[in-house]
Amino acid sequence: MLDIAIDPDQPAAELYADLTSFAAALVDGEPDAIANMANIAALIWQYVPELNWAGFYRVVDGELVLGPFQGKTACIRIAIGSGVCGAAAATGKVQRVADVHAFPGHIACDADSRSELVVPVFKDGVVVAVLDLDSPRPDRFRQADEAGMVRIIETIANNLG
Ligand code: SME
């Protein structure tokens, strides 16, 4: 839809500044959370290198339920507190996992996943969803990726829940 000139190989801070601007533009004026999650998952999938899964789980009736994503088919329901996504939802804290095999309770939806970044989405101080990113490369996600994804999510959180 948007014709975006983003260089995925530019320094992370610049890549995430660009992605934040385009994410804000994509959701601007659109209140439907599912539609917005679908576009944000597609945006991240297209421009962030070395991912094998990018998408959302929503908090529905006290558990995480699969939302819009890009990548292989995935687990549909995850208990709050279970796995990396469940830990992010339970604690409200970003989970940046260098080696998913070393994370107690990690849920292997895609056997290719080696590292993971999960960012909680807050609305009115409550976690309403998580953004989940998986990579086939161990230790793929650095501090700059965490800061960049948090910035994207904080910028558009009102349109995701
Ligand atoms: N690995 C996640 C489950 C979701 S999939 O990666 C898409 C976890 O442990 O929460």
Is 2 inside any structural domain?
Answer: no
Q: How many domains does the chain have?
A: 1
CATH number of the domain to which 103 belongs = 3.30.450.40
Q: Is 80 in the pocket of ligand 1 (CB under 6 A)?
A: no
Q: What is the pLDDT of residues 104-147, one digit of tens each?
A: 999 998 899 999 999 999 999 999 999 999 999 999 999 999 99
The token pair at 109 is: 């939806």
CB hemisphere CA count around 135 (13 angstroms): 19
Is 61 inside any structural domain?
Answer: yes
Q: How far is CA 95 from the centre of its chain?
A: 11
Is 144 inside any structural domain?
Answer: yes
Q: Is 107 in the pocket of ligand 1 (CB under 6 A)?
A: yes
CA distance 30 to 134: 27
pTM of the model: 0.95
Helix (H, G, I), strand (E, B) or coil at 59: strand
Angle, CA 20 vertex, CA 19 and CA 26 arms, to 5°: 85
Q: What is the pLDDT of residues 50-104, one digit of tens each?
A: 999 999 999 999 999 999 999 999 999 999 999 999 999 999 999 999 999 999 9
Which residue CA neighbors atom 2 of ligand 1 most closely?
A: 107
Is 123 inside any structural domain?
Answer: yes
Q: Which domain holds residue 152?
A: 12-159
Q: Is 84 in the pocket of ligand 1 (CB under 6 A)?
A: yes
Measured in Å, residue 59 CA sits from the centre of ligand 1 at 14
